[in-house]
Amino acid sequence: MTSWGTTYGVGWTILMITVGIKTLYAPLMIKTNINTLKLKLLEPETQLFQQKMKRSQAKQDMPGIRQLQNKFKQLRMKHGINMSIMALNLT
């Protein structure tokens, strides 16, 4: 038989742990959301890169593929998009 005070304390403990975890992960979730929005703004350019990549892959043009990958990487760096944060996607 449990008393009301013990059950009430467990509920508050769970609530405090949940709030603490959300608070710790908030900066990472914010950065992830910002990167997602930046990627959506670059979507037209991303589609162009994908089309060029498909053409290069069809021709099996490895130097062309590497060049496109480097250009896309430079585009992401120019706009401050960090793909390693996107891999964590906690939202």
Averages of pLDDT over each 10 residues, the chain, 91 residues:
62 92 90 88 90 88 88 88 70 50
Would you state the pLDDT for residue 83? 77
pTM value is 0.62
Q: Name the nearest CA neighbour of 76 among 31, 32, 45.
A: 45
Q: What are the residues whose beta carbons fall under 8 Å from the beta carbon of 64, sequence distance 6 or more?
A: 56
The domain ranges of the chain are 4-88
Q: HSE on the CB side for 63, CA within 13 Å? A: 0
C-alpha–C-alpha distance, residues 39 and 64, integer Å: 23
